[in-house]
Amino acid sequence: MSELNKIALKILSNGKGILAADESTGTMTKRLESVNVLSSAENRLLFRETLFSSESMKNCIGGVILYDETIKQLTNSNKSIPDLISSAGAVPGIKVDTGAKVLAGSPEEKITEGLDGLRERLKEYYQLGAQFTKWRGVYSISNKYPSKLSIYSNAHALARYSALVQECKMVPIVEPEVLMDGNHSAEDCFNITSEVIKKCFEELILHKVDLSGIILKPNMILAGANSEKKTSNEEIAKLTLKCLRENVPSDVPGIAFLSGGQSEVEATENLNLINKNNDTNFIMTYSYGRALQQSALKFWSKDIENTEGTQKVFNHRANMCTLAAQGKWSA
Ligand code: 13P
């Protein structure tokens, strides 16, 4: 078993999942302002430190994805954030892309940037304690899109990123996110996600990435948020499993879904059904941002000193997700 494979399994095994707390300062500011909390570096740290110090870090959270600001911050008791996470038995990770920008040649689409100087930044993050990383490519569905150009160029960037990350002894999370925005059907999402994932693996293989040392972070197969046709949770689970079974090479140890705008309960219920019906060898777990933090953030915003109460809300959500990651959740 390679070292990278061991790290991936440590993050994903036994119903554990990933807490995606890597919102950029811009996104975090939107989240905090939506609950009327000032977005200062201090408040961003306070909320995150509250989550990282909670009980469920030990039993539920296998890894935490950090943002550049957070990985360099110190806790109240002068501990580094990666140390705080490691002391709970979880693995610290870091978002290393620098965001999705307009794609030259297809200006209505996005390409994720951050490859220039990446090797040097990775060395720094490794020194700071990171053992895994994240890079997210985004694709929107509409009549014309995603274009072949966006599917190819994002796959290429994800593969170049992954090769560099493994060279620096860390596990890359490969995140091709087909967005939920729009009125497309679940079948459209299935066809496009299949094409996107297939292309990603073609590029990963071309760049000699060790597939046993990556984590795939895909979207579930869902109809667009504005679609009139309702897809049942059973259908979502069935289509998601079919897409992954057909397009993910068997060397990949595990899949950790993004929540992508699903509610906390939807994201839990869908993950549970995926696991109840999982006929693949892949671990299927969560790497949720909003679907782990939403209720905790709302609670915290009412009294940002109430650490215990906020942790109770977060622990409940993390416990539910961990049950779902084992197909043991019930409403
Ligand atoms: P959501 O679960 O809120 O979609 O965020 C996960 C993530 O890391 C997106 O890149």
This complex has an ipTM of 0.88
CB within 8 A of 91, min separation 6: which ones?
Answer: 7, 10, 11, 62, 63, 64, 85, 131, 132
- The whole-number pLDDT of residue 296 equals 98
Tell me the per-residue pLDDT of 173-229, one tens digit each, with 9 for 90 and over: 999 999 999 999 999 999 999 999 999 999 999 999 999 999 999 999 999 999 999
Kindly list the distances between the CA atom of residue 85 and the CA atoms of 31, 76, 202, 235, 316, in Å, as whole numbers in the listed order: 23, 14, 34, 36, 19
Percent of the chain with pLDDT over 90: 98
* Helices first, then strands: H and E counts in the chain: 13, 10
How far is the centre of ligand 1, averaged over its atoms, from the C-alpha of 288 (Å)?
5
Q: How far apart are CA 305 and CA 295, in angstroms?
A: 16
**At 230, is the pLDDT very low, low, confident or very high (cuts 50, 70, 90)?**
confident
- Ligand 1 binding pocket mutation candidate from 96, 258, 270 (most atoms within 8 A of CB): 258
CA-closest residue to ligand 1 atom 1:
289
Tell me the per-residue pLDDT of 263-276, one tens digit each, with 9 for 90 and over: 999 999 999 999 99
Q: Does residue 1 surpass a pLDDT of 80?
A: no
How many CB atoms are located within 10 Å of the residue 258 CB? 24
Q: Which helix (H) or strand (E) holds 283?
A: strand 283-288
User: Do the strands 171-178 and 215-216 form a parallel or antiparallel pair, or are they unpaired?
Assistant: parallel
pTM for the structure as a whole: 0.98
How far is the centre of ligand 1, averaged over its atoms, from the C-alpha of 20 (Å)?
6
Kindly list the distances between the CA atom of residue 207 and the CA atoms of 114, 126, 322, in Å, as whole numbers in the listed order: 17, 22, 33
Average pLDDT on 109-125 reads 98
CB within 8 A of 152, min separation 6: which ones?
Answer: 199
Average pLDDT on 238-249 reads 98
Tell me the per-residue pLDDT of 132-179, one tens digit each, with 9 for 90 and over: 999 999 999 999 999 999 999 999 999 999 999 999 999 999 999 999
How far is the centre of ligand 1, averaged over its atoms, from the C-alpha of 289 (Å)?
4
Pocket, ligand 1, Cβ cutoff 6 A? 20, 136, 175, 258-260, 288-291
Tell me the per-residue pLDDT of 18-65, one tens digit each, with 9 for 90 and over: 999 999 999 999 999 999 999 999 999 999 999 999 999 999 999 999
Q: Which residue has the tokens 């995140």?
A: 175
The residues pairing with 175 across neighbouring beta strands, listed in sequence order, are 136
How many CB atoms are located within 10 Å of the residue 150 CB? 22
- Ligand 1 binding pocket mutation candidate from 290, 295, 297, 321 (most atoms within 8 A of CB): 290
Return the active site residues: 175, 217
Secondary structure E strands in 16-76: 17-20, 61-66
Q: Which residue has the tokens 């995603």?
A: 146
Tell me the per-residue pLDDT of 2-12, one tens digit each, with 9 for 90 and over: 999 999 999 99
Q: Does residue 110 surpass a pLDDT of 80?
A: yes
Q: Does residue 304 surpass a pLDDT of 90?
A: yes
How far is the centre of ligand 1, averaged over its atoms, from the C-alpha of 141 (Å)?
18
Percent of the chain with pLDDT over 70: 100
Which three-class secondary structure state does DSSP give residue 288? strand
Q: When comparing pLDDT for 239 and 230, which is higher?
A: 239
Which three-class secondary structure state does DSSP give residue 258? coil
CA-closest residue to ligand 1 atom 8:
20
Token pair, residue 84, equals 């705080």
- Ligand 1 binding pocket mutation candidate from 138, 287, 294, 317 (most atoms within 8 A of CB): 287
How many CB atoms are located within 10 Å of the residue 211 CB? 18
CA-closest residue to ligand 1 atom 5:
289
Q: For residues 144 and 106, is the Cβ–Cβ distance under 8 A?
A: no
Q: Does residue 122 surpass a pLDDT of 80?
A: yes
How far is the centre of ligand 1, averaged over its atoms, from the C-alpha of 177 (Å)?
9
Q: For residues 174 and 213, is the Cβ–Cβ distance under 8 A?
A: no
CA contacts within 13 A on the Cβ side of 163: 15
Average pLDDT on 249-268 reads 98
How far is the centre of ligand 1, averaged over its atoms, from the C-alpha of 67 (Å)?
13
Q: How far apart are CA 317 and CA 324, in angstroms?
A: 11
Q: For residues 291 and 264, is the Cβ–Cβ distance under 8 A?
A: yes
CA of 288, closest atom in ligand 1: 2
- The whole-number pLDDT of residue 331 equals 85
CA of 290, closest atom in ligand 1: 3
Q: For residues 188 and 140, is the Cβ–Cβ distance under 8 A?
A: no
Q: How far apart are CA 147 and CA 153, in angstroms?
A: 10
